[in-house]
Chains A and B, each alone.
Chain A
Amino acid sequence: MSFNPSLTARLRIGFVVLFALLLIVSLLGVGRLFQIRVHYENDITRYFQLELESERLRSAFILEQAAARPATAHQQPSQVELNQAAASFSDAASRARDLTDDDTVLVAKLNQLVASETAWRKKVAEPLIHEQVPPAPVERRLTSAVTNSGDALATDTRAARDTARDNARTDTRNTTILVAAGLGGALLAALILFSGLINSMRAPLGRLVEGARRLAGGDLRTRVEVGGPVEIATLGRAFNEMANSLERDARERDRIEQMKDDFVLTVSHELRTPVTVVKGFAEMLTAQRKSLNSRQFEAAEVIAESAGQLQKMINDLLDLARSDAGKLRIEAEPTPVRSLAQRIGRQMRPNFEGKAQSFTVSVEKDLPDIDADPGRIGQVLANLLTNANKYAPEGAQVRLAATKVGDEIEFAVSDNGPGLDGDQLEHVFDRFWRADSTETQSVGGTGLGLAIAKSLVELHGGRITANSSPGEGATFRFVLPIAKDGRPNREAPTRRTKAGAAG
């Protein structure tokens, strides 16, 4: 790009060029029209004067005739009067000559008139003065030659005047057309210039808008082609610098996130081995009740229980770390809803009985299979039921229901416990969040259950929501897609029922 003036320079050049063109065209046009007008007026004046002179020539000739051949019989032809009339004829002829402006036709006509007058004076007037009457045919011929020449000069002068007027009209019209064409041309040039200017901005600006949209959409590799006027090109470069810096930051952030995820993943994984050992040995001790005294047994029980909690917490953390790292995978398969709900129900029932809570499981008849990882959805249900069990008071009612809603299956876990207010509902799926921080001691648990439940449900392509108002209990609902060949399942015994019975 050798010549790339800035936007302001382009605008300035455009305005100057347009202004200059309009000025030149206008001045030339007006000047030319003025010139035509002046020329025309001069011509018209001249031809009027010439006509006047030809009238004078005619009257001078009449005086000459009167001097040579007086109208009344008692008057004598007068040499003096003839000379005077001839002098005024000659004066008029010389003024007329000046007025012909070298028009060949008019000059010829004037010469003819002067020549015929000279011939008439010589052949008719002079002999009459000297009382020699010329032959009548000669006198008639020469007299009518002068008269005819005078008429011809007058006629031609009028014709010349008409021609001058026609020429002036034609010139005026042509000049007007030329000026109009010139102005039109100048405007057209301006239009081309400005549309060129707009076009030179449009493409790079369009690219910038498109780039900004893509960048806002999260595509951090977006760069724009730098081009157009200097200002736009500068904007393009600034945009690319911004995108570079955003991408660099994002990459750095990703790297740190990755490090954090890897760290949590590794730590959780490494923690599991010793916890497994502690739990295993503690459980072994509690199984040997007979060989322990009551305090030793109590200690072994507490160790086993704590190790169990620790193991659960580490598993939850590991699940979340995997989820963050995109490594949490599910193995979805057509899963019967009833047997899944009943298995988790059986597993959880002792907890509800322990707090004298009533617990019901209701599954709609003939539900189609869900497309889900039974272990993971069991984990979600267990997490929701554990929360209901923990937060609802003794004697409360807890219900697990599964129904078909549209083309999805909805699971709902509801209780008639203390419920949650709006602010609490907003954070209920956050990590390590608790309805009340003072409950940490009394309720226990990791505060990760609902966060994991959300991750797992979303991984299945489902949605989870919480509904509650203080004092009216809480309901957690999640929906899951129906399996592709999800015919209503008659709940034939599956291989999983054994595991359920053992749980």
Chain B
Amino acid sequence: MTRLLVADDSETVLLMLQRRLEMEGYEVVTATDGVEALERLRELSPKEPDVILLDAMMPNKSGTEVLEEIRGKGSKIPVLMISAHLDAQEPERMRRLGANDIVPKPFEWEDLIGKIEELVTP
């Protein structure tokens, strides 16, 4: 089963994502901030999630910081950033930091699923 790690600071958004992704047939592990996301990653190891979905803006540790940290450790897990995209330069910066793809927030469900599918089956 394809396992996703999803991190978003809004619990309702997180729940919605979890339920819908489960409906699509994914196994979903959730985190409400960057620190928790890294904790979940440690708990899962040595098994790794197939794709990590990170909200760019989160308290404690932002998605961007998590991305930097896991790429810093040499991890190659595909990362899909969810970004409110307030700054036009943001997507470019995230790609430089090693994000595989970016979904603008708010997202269309088909768009999100399409991008996850692309990352799961390279």
Contacts and interface: CB of A to CB of B under 8 A. Distances in A.
Interface string A468-490: 00000000000000000000000
B16 A276 contact: yes
Interface residues of A, number: 22
A327 B109 CA distance: 26
A144 B15 CA distance: 160
A92 to B, nearest CB: 127
Interface string B65-89: 0000000000000000000101110
A273 interface: yes
B19 A281 contact: yes
Nearest to B8: A273
Interface string B1-41: 00000000010110111011001000000000000000000
Contacts of A502: 110-111, 114
Interface string A66-92: 000000000000000000000000000
Interface in B84-118: 84, 86-88, 105-107, 109-111, 114
A337 B74 CA distance: 41
A311 B19 contact: no
- The residue among A272, A276, A280, A284 with the most chain B CB atoms within 10 A of its own CB is A280
A5 B100 CA distance: 78
B14 to A, nearest CB: 9
B20 A280 contact: yes
A283 interface: yes
A22 B99 CA distance: 94
Contact of B16 (A284, A288, A311): A284
A331 B88 contact: yes
Interface in A179-228: none
Interface in A446-495: none
Interface in A276-297: 276-277, 279-281, 283-284, 287-288
B88 A329 contact: yes
Given A277-B10, A277-B12, A281-B16, A272 B105 contact: yes
B16 A280 contact: yes
Interface in A350-397: none
A287 B23 contact: yes
Given A272-B106, A315-B106, A502-B114, A284 B23 contact: yes
A256 interface: no
Contacts of A276: 13, 16, 105-107
A269 interface: yes
A307 B20 CA distance: 17
A280 B17 contact: yes
A330 interface: yes
Contact of A277 (B16, B84, B86, B88): B16
Nearest to A328: B88
Given A272-B105, A315-B106, A502-B110, A284 B13 contact: no
Nearest to A265: B86
Contacts of A280: 13, 16-17, 20, 109
A449 to B, nearest CB: 18
A463 B107 CA distance: 30
22 contacts: A272-B84, A273-B13, A275-B106, A276-B13, A276-B16, A276-B105, A276-B107, A277-B12, A277-B15, A279-B106, A280-B13, A280-B20, A281-B16, A281-B19, A284-B16, A284-B19, A284-B23, A288-B23, A315-B106, A329-B87, A329-B88, A331-B88
Interface of B: 10, 12-13, 15-17, 19-20, 23, 84, 86-88, 105-107, 109-111, 114
Given A277-B16, A284-B20, 13 more contacts: A272-B84, A272-B105, A272-B106, A274-B12, A276-B16, A280-B109, A281-B19, A283-B20, A284-B23, A287-B23, A288-B23, A331-B88, A502-B110
